[in-house]
Structure 1
Amino acid sequence: MQKNIIIFICLSILAFIVVKYQNFTVILSGIAIFIIGMFFMQDGFKQLSGGLLEKLLQKFTHNSLYAIITGFVATSIVQSSTITTLLTISFVGAELITLVQGIGVIFGSNLGSTTTAWIVSSLGIDVKISTYAFPMIVFGVILRFLKTNAMKGSGNVLLGLGFIFLGIAYMKDGFDVIKDQIDLASYAMDGYTGILLYILIGLVITIVIQSSAATLAIIITALNVESITYINALALAIGANIGTVLTAVLASLTSTQDAKRVAGSHVIFNFVTAAIITIFIYQFKDFVDFLAPYFGIAETNSGMKLALFHTIFSLVGIIVLFPFIPLIAKLLEKIIPQKISSASKPKYLSPVVLNSPDAALVAIRKETINLYENCQKAMLHALNLHTTGLTKETLKVRLNDELSIIDTNIDEIYQKNLKSLYSDIVKFSSFAQEHMFDFQHKEAGELKRAASIIVEVLKDTRDIQKNLNYYLKSRNEFIKEEYNILRKELAEILIDINTLSTLENDADQLTQLEVIKSELAQNDLASSEEIDALIREDKIKATMATSYMNDSATGYSIQKKLVEVANILFVNSDLNKDLGEVKNETK
């Protein structure tokens, strides 16, 4: 209630400013249009990347240096350090990259975010930028109506650039008018008091509009029309960098411990760097003035000097903190210890990644695998087999050992643990799909289907558990042997799927999948022939035969479903796509 009241008061004040002061309205409109442009451009780059960021983070973060370069490249591609940060949080949480690698990516993303300042400063000074905005918007709208993801993505990028250019033009016009009426530069404060005040202003602006890129666009535009002094603009840029930290921290508060650690590295980077730059701000100002001519920046071009200062800010942080990345990781792990969650609690689903499709897909996949692993453990216990050290070799020994019933209530396990986890996966996936493109939406749907099949498999196992425990203690060695074979078949396919999950090479995955499918076909045929022979030879009673036939059919259904789950969770999605296309062509 209080939050709604505060929002209402803020909106009322904003409405008063918009109505009363038209010159400020022009600037505010420019900021709003710029932010809309950033959203369109980010969506466009995400659609065009088609999982490129995910692949970059997975393949090129082997050490801290590569991680920094990857963070820089990824952020430069999508023009958003927030997206890179969310992906990093998800990947660290999903254990696809280590915390040390994640910290490196965060450091690199800070450097990558400086490219926005270079774009704004280089295009928004002497060129009449609004001239290029309208054609971009027109062609952007046209491309958005085309069918392919590449065209839609290109349309979003053009729309984004068009709105960004238009926003800069409006801000520039607004500051031009205000400068003629009110000399904001006359309110500049000298010394460190003024610097600290402007750092605070930059921080507040970034928190309010939730975009350091937009803050820097405002600063550069105001600086170009000389509405603020150069030294105060540098202080505002420092504040904007600190503001992005608070946004990341707030986003991670309700998330996983790994998310908090990644956000913590963001805090350390920006606060340490901001402290160094603030203390030596006049020396860094002189350093920028010294370097500017070597980059072809004119002495009067304060906007591009600010972009250079912003880049130096991030480079200083990387140079100073790079040797201490492992120590920072250990410190964060100590300050933010890992919580032990129950089987019913999701390990990877974090609200912070909902708006980032690539990160959300990784989280959904890892959580579905977590659901599968919990289901697998319950299944093996229901088959009276312990999971520790289970291989095909140890399985033979355990099947020959004297039977020891493991008390496993599958209904209770499902109700207390797995039902909640399954529900969380479905709920999270549904919300995440709202922000996804068609190909991502389809993948999320497949993962939800896998989760549903896993739950079906668990319930099917429950259906054969009662007969299995009963006949394994039977004096009839023939029916006992048949149920042991059923245990063996189910356990072996779980072991084979575990092997599949460890393979990364496409060819190895295909080979293992074919082995599993071949064994599945043999199991169905052998089971059918064996039971027919036992019935004909009167070695088992009719009641035993019918029970086993039903359970055998259920067991075969379980195996087929497990193969389907394995195909979705553990086989390369691109490989699956290629196989699907080949099948369609042969029909």
Structure 2
Amino acid sequence: MSFFDLLKMVGGLALFLYGMNLLGDGLSRASGGRLERILEKLTNNPLKAVLMGAVVTGVIQSSSATTVMVVGFVNSGIMSLKQAVGIIMGANIGTTVTSWILSLTGIESDAFWIRMLKPSSFSPILAIVGVGILLFSHKDKLKNAATILVGFAILMFGMDSMSAAVSPLAEVPEFTNLLIEFQNPVFGVLAGLILTAVIQSSSASVGILQALCMTGAVSFGAAVPIIMGQNIGTCVTAMISGIGASRNAKRAALIHLYFNIIGTILFLGVFYTVNAIHPFAFLGEVATPFGIAVVHSCFNIAATLVLLPFSNGLVKLACLTLPTHEDVKEMSETDKTLSLLDVRFLEKPAYAVEQSRLVASVMADKSREAMDLAMELLHNFDEAKAEQVAQMETDVDRFEDELGTYLVKLSSKQLSNKDSETLNTILHCIGDFERISDHARNIKEAAQEMHDKQLVFSEKAQEELKVFERAVHDVLDLTMTSFKNGDLNLARQVEPLEEVIDGLSLDVKQRHVRRLRKGKCTIELGFILSDVITNFERVSDHCSNIAVCLVQVNEDEFDTHAYLDELRQEDNKDFQSKVLACREKYQLPPTKQERLAEKNAKLLAE
């Protein structure tokens, strides 16, 4: 084998691995995170779990990616260990799809249509179509489809390059002698294990084996144990992903390892026992790409059928290996929610965006709940509720830090336009959620001060505050609901109410000044009231920021001031009518002067 043959083989391997990676990425982006969400929901039934594991892996072309996702699911508490077992087994079956596709390289015929089934014949067509779409199309769906086509074409070009480069090895005695050594099950398993562990893809290592088969020097006697070893080697990726994860996530990685080790031992034990009694003639025959695909599939299907009934045993074995420590503290609800931001999900950006949106929704709810609770404290102070507000504010701070960091990492990934918009929206809004919780804390502190000093607002001030609080509660409700549901109609209702809240702020302050002049209120209470009102107004401002962000991102614009100026123009009848409706709904109790003026107006009318 010359230097140039070696160079061609290594280059072919590089193309093969890159093509496989590109193909998987394209398929993953095309699914838009839907496959991962299906995995979450359809795993209670073991058979369904196996089926879904096989389907998802067959689609994304990587059992390693599936098992890493499963480790992430378990780490986040989305999935239990029992649910994970079926998916892990199914992933082993799904990974055989690649070997079946690659087995098409062995097609030999002079018939035109049969030759067109050979990847080397139709791959150039896929490459031309895919590259054309990538160059001239700007639609995400088309570009994802094109990525799949180009990835497949590169994969097959790499396979052909490897096959052509290794064909001279058939004439090299050292190579053929090495393959004879691999007929020893131990050496064969180790060879497959090491190769797969290095490249971290059983699909790729099986593809390499299929390429070597094209030399005619690989017998089934050597191929069978190598395939067994490849199944064990693929566990390395999941084991690595389990580092730093929760105990249960590590157990999920161990289940993957134990499943493949036990399956290999059982299969080889039965296979070579039967072979000793009744020798298999095919072991001495030259292996073919098709034969490799058959062996690969038979092993994984057989292992799943045998071990699926003992899935609970695999769970117990993993738990015995990693027992639960008594001093392990139970995760708080906040920790459980934040665990959804698993770094393993970053490899599936569409799913990671969805997880980020879920966490942001919880953050929004916490901010709203903290504010509602803080407003209650102004009228009925309770130490336990005050502590709840403080804890919620701390939790929301954590959400902002961890979610913001996660989103920055996620932004470096290749995202669809829709996912990119969602990510930008979340990034823009989480700061406002955090500030709302800060204002809740400020109001809690004001209520605490009143409680400690035994201060009470006047009856009229309390009535006015209740109207104000109702408006703030409603603007929060509109904002958070529109954010969680992506409801732009609700988002557009926020700004008219925010306008009214600004007016309420001014009116309440003016009324307070009048009461202060008449000696009906103290300066100390006045400072507290002013502080509370300012916080209410700031909360509505942050709600406005969130709502405007939702609307502007959807309209592919982001000029907040221009949008608000246009919205508030006098000739905007729709906006003005909404403002009037809100003013009617959130009217302050009439003052003595207003009641007198109204009475005089009625008398004049009569």
Normalised by the length of structure 2, the TM-score is: 0.72
Alignment partner of 1:448 is 2:408: no
Unaligned runs of 5+ in 1: 1-16, 293-298, 386-398, 581-585
Task: Kindly state the Cα deviation for residue 161 of structure 1 after the two structures are TM-superposed.
Answer: 1.2
Distance 1:543 1:187, change over 3 A: closer
Structure 1 residues 500, 158: closer, same or farther in 2, change over 3 A?
Answer: closer
With over 3 angstroms needed to count, the CA separation of the structure-2 counterparts of 1:142 and 1:380, relative to structure 1, is: same
User: Contact 1:382–1:408 (CA<8 Å) still a contact in 2?
Assistant: no
Relative to structure 1, the CA distance from residue 44 to residue 344 in structure 2 (aligned partners, 3 Å threshold; closer, same or farther) is closer
Q: Tell me the alpha carbon deviations over residues 230-269 of structure 1, each in whole angstroms, 9 at most, x when there is no partner.
A: 1211111111111111121012212344432332221222
Report how far residue 457 of structure 1 moved.
1.2
**Which moved further from structure 2: 445-454 or 94-103?**
94-103
Q: Which of residues 412, 428, 432 in structure 1 aligns to 2:406? A: 428
Q: Secondary structure at the match of 2:245?
A: coil
Match of 1:13 in 2: none
The equivalent residue for 2:198 is 208
Residues in 1 aligned to 2:547 and 2:47: alpha-carbon distance in whole angstroms: 35
Q: Distance in 2 between matches of 1:567 and 1:71?
A: 41
Q: CA deviation at 1:314?
A: 1.8
Aligned residue number for residue 132 of structure 1: 122
Residue 448 of structure 2 aligns with an amino acid whose one-letter code is N
Structure 1 position 411, deviation (Å): 8.8
Q: What is the aligned partner in structure 2 of residue 460 from structure 1?
A: 439
- Compare 224-233 and 327-336 and name the one that shifted more: 327-336
Give the whole-Å Cα distance in 2 for the aligned partners of 1:449 and 1:90: 26
TM-score normalized by the length of structure 1: 0.74
Give the distance between the partners of 1:313 and 1:567, measured in 2 at CA: 57
For the pair 1:358 / 2:350, whether they are aligned, the reply is: yes
CA RMSD of aligned residues (A): 4.7
Checking the alignment, whether the CA contact within 8 Å between 1:474 and 1:480 is kept in structure 2 is no
CA deviation after TM superposition for structure 1 residue 429, in Å: 1.6
Question: Which residue identity is paired with 1:150?
Answer: K
1:112 lines up with 2:91 in the alignment: no
Aligned with 2:533 (options 523, 536, 552): 552
Which residues in structure 2 correspond to 1:524-539 (within 5 Å)? none
The percentage of counterpart residues that share the same residue type is: 22
Q: 1:51 to 1:403 in 2, by over 3 A?
A: closer
Q: 2:132 aligns with which of 139, 142, 146?
A: 142
CA distance in 1, matches of 2:376, 2:143: 54
**1:434: how far off?**
1.7
1:181 aligns with 2:172: yes
2:294 paired residue among 289, 308, 322: 308
- Gaps of at least 5 residues in structure 2 are 109-114, 558-573, 576-606
**Within 2, Cα distance between the matches of 1:220 and 1:339?**
49
Amino acid in the other structure paired with 2:185 = I
- Asked if 2 retains the 8 angstrom alpha-carbon contact of 1:500 and 1:513, the reply is yes
Q: How many residues align?
A: 531
| 1:61 alignment partner, SS class | coil
Pairwise CA distance, 1:106: 1.9
**Greater CA deviation, 530-539 or 266-275?**
530-539
1:280 paired with 2:261, answer no
Report the equivalent of 2:20.
38
Spell out the pairing of 1:139-178 with structure 2 (5 A cutoff).
139-145=129-135, 146-178=137-169
1:496-511 equivalences in 2 (<5 Å): none
Q: Shift of the alpha carbon at 1:272?
A: 1.7
- After TM superposition, the structure 1 stretch with the greater mean CA deviation from structure 2, 223-232 or 361-370, is 361-370
Distance of aligned partners of 1:268 and 1:499 in 2 relative to their CA distance in 1, 3 Å threshold: farther
Distance in 2, Cα, partners of 1:22 & 1:562: 65
Give CA deviations for 1:349-381 in whole Å, capped at 9, x if unaligned. 333232221342244335445655765676577
| Aligned residue type for 1:352 | R
Deviation at 1:44, TM superposition (A): 1.4
> Could you tell me how far apart the structure 2 residues matched to 1:333 and 1:489 are?
53
Are 1:323 and 2:317 counterparts? no
Q: What CA deviation, in whole Å up to 9, does each residue of 1:285-310 have, x standing for no partner? A: 89xx99x9xxxxxx977322221221
Do the aligned partners of residues 447 and 198 (structure 1) sit closer, same or farther apart at CA in structure 2, a change above 3 Å counting? Answer: same
- The one-character-per-residue Cα deviations of 1:39-81 (angstroms, maximum 9, x if unpaired) are 1111211222223313422443342222221111111112122
Residue 21 to residue 69, structure 1, CA distance change in 2 (3 Å):
same
CA separation of 1:366/1:528 partners in 2, compared to 1, >3 Å: closer, same or farther?
same
| Higher deviation after alignment, 163-172 or 100-109 | 100-109
With 134-143 and 71-80 compared, the bigger mean Cα shift is at 134-143
